[in-house]
Copies of this chain bind each other. A is one copy, B any other.
């Protein structure tokens, strides 16, 4: 049926794109030296799902053409997902409820499905403006330092990689050399946060220009992003302040920049300016949480999303205070949204558990915490790594590839499934069981 097809179309499109991308990367003009089919598939999957996990070094294993192909895959994957996310929102709007429809109309200023083309044009303009600005600003930093040729290429590559939250970098230590550079920290984080918050929020913000008139969705995204960024930064500073391998050797200013960057990159971007494998277990746990949360629905981000996390916290509060309604920023979250938040989160956790379990067998020589890190990084399409992904067994790499794919396609598909229950003829008699 037509109702079932959109997520299948998305998954199928991504799958074809990955195969095509891998074939292009295997061309002799794309690569420097040999590249196995498995590594090409892994790299293409990582690019299309805008994850950034790698089994080979981007800068040394690919020619300019190869890097250009990666950029194309990243841009198509990121843009495809954003467009699709917006279309699903529109599609859901037509079939879910008046209030949901109202949300979409309000935030996108669209009245019906025939406006799709106008919407896609809006989206394209948004991407062009953001990426154009990014290229110009980064070029201002890097051209004086690297010269026109290399400076512009770096500006282009990092802008596309950052705006699409892909996390691909042109050096093996990501952006570590800019750990205390204010301009680079600001431009890169601004790019990936804009790409990650969701087009609906940006669009509504551009129209209303006032926080108080925004929809609940946009207000939760903005406030939630701010609180997660500052909370993550504060916790990271507390945990890693004296760790000589991460923050310890930096000046106070450098510590603040590094904590800011690491706090916001963890929720899907995937660049890093400090060594992930040198972090303490507590910091790794903080990262697991942030990577699981991710950024905004209908954006280049994966994970359960900031809104889902906010609803979970609000619902917990409502349970403990025994309130009949889940309250969030002076609005009540509908019971169906609370249910969806719980379901999405638990299904994600089940999938992560299963993947780590398989890795604990196939790659039992690797530290357990590192296996958790790579799996959650893949599922949230974050791309941060404790350095073990290139050393994983073939089974292990396959698991990571599947998790990147499911992390990217899964939640949308799931949202779609949850929103459109199939009519079922057989009705069963209800009978309760005791819970907890």
Q: Point out residues on A near B: beta carbons under 8 Å.
A: 89, 97, 99-100, 103, 198, 200, 215-217, 220, 239, 280-282, 284-286, 289, 297-298, 304-305, 307-308, 310-312, 315-316, 319-325, 327-328, 330-347, 349-350, 353, 356-357, 360-361, 364, 367-369, 411-412, 414-415, 417-418, 420-424, 427-436
Q: Is the interface of A mostly helix, strand, loop or mixed?
A: helix
Q: How many copies does the complex hold?
A: 2
Which residue of the partner chain, among B89, B312, B428, contacts A434 with CB atoms under 8 Å?
B89
Question: Nearest Cβ in chain B — how far from A168, in angstroms?
Answer: 25
Complex Cα–Cα for A319 and B424 (A): 13
Max count, chain B CB within 10 A of own CB: residue among A100, A333, A411, A436: A436
Contacts of A328 in B (CB 8 A): 433
The answer on a CB contact under 8 Å between B347 and A319 is yes
Contacts of A316 in B (CB 8 A): 346-347, 350
The answer on a CB contact under 8 Å between A411 and B436 is yes
Question: Nearest Cβ in chain B — how far from A217, in angstroms?
Answer: 5
A selection of 13 A-B contacts at a CB cut-off of 8 Å is A103-B432, A103-B434, A198-B434, A281-B364, A282-B364, A312-B346, A323-B422, A323-B424, A325-B424, A334-B431, A342-B343, A367-B368, A415-B435
The answer on a CB contact under 8 Å between B432 and A100 is yes
Which residue of the partner chain, among B304, B421, B436, contacts A340 with CB atoms under 8 Å?
B436
Complex Cα–Cα for A252 and B297 (A): 53
Contacts of A322 in B (CB 8 A): 417, 420-422
Question: Nearest Cβ in chain B — how far from A116, in angstroms?
Answer: 18
The answer on a CB contact under 8 Å between A331 and B430 is yes
The answer on a CB contact under 8 Å between A337 and B414 is no
Which residue of the partner chain, among B311, B422, B435, contacts A307 with CB atoms under 8 Å?
B435
Residues A216 and B304 in contact in the complex (CB < 8 Å), given A320-B417, A346-B345, A347-B316: no
Closest A-B pairs by Cβ, 6 of them: A342-B342, A332-B428, A344-B436, A297-B434, A322-B422, A411-B436
Complex Cα–Cα for A324 and B422 (A): 7
Complex Cα–Cα for A344 and B334 (A): 19
Contacts of A357 in B (CB 8 A): 282, 285-286
Contacts of A311 in B (CB 8 A): 433, 435
Max count, chain B CB within 10 A of own CB: residue among A284, A339, A420, A428: A428
Contacts of A305 in B (CB 8 A): 434-436
The answer on a CB contact under 8 Å between B431 and A216 is yes
Nearest chain B residue, comparing its CB with the CB of A298: B434
The answer on a CB contact under 8 Å between B360 and A282 is yes
The answer on a CB contact under 8 Å between A315 and B343 is yes
Complex Cα–Cα for A97 and B434 (A): 13
Complex Cα–Cα for A353 and B289 (A): 9
Complex Cα–Cα for A323 and B350 (A): 20
Question: Nearest Cβ in chain B — how far from A196, in angstroms?
Answer: 14
Residues A331 and B427 in contact in the complex (CB < 8 Å), given A436-B340, A436-B414: no
Contacts of A431 in B (CB 8 A): 99, 103, 215-217, 331-334
The answer on a CB contact under 8 Å between B436 and A412 is yes
Question: Nearest Cβ in chain B — how far from A349, in angstroms?
Answer: 7
Contacts of A333 in B (CB 8 A): 430-433
Complex Cα–Cα for A323 and B424 (A): 6
Contacts of A349 in B (CB 8 A): 349
Nearest chain B residue, comparing its CB with the CB of A363: B281
Residues A436 and B415 in contact in the complex (CB < 8 Å), given A280-B364, A332-B427, A431-B331: yes
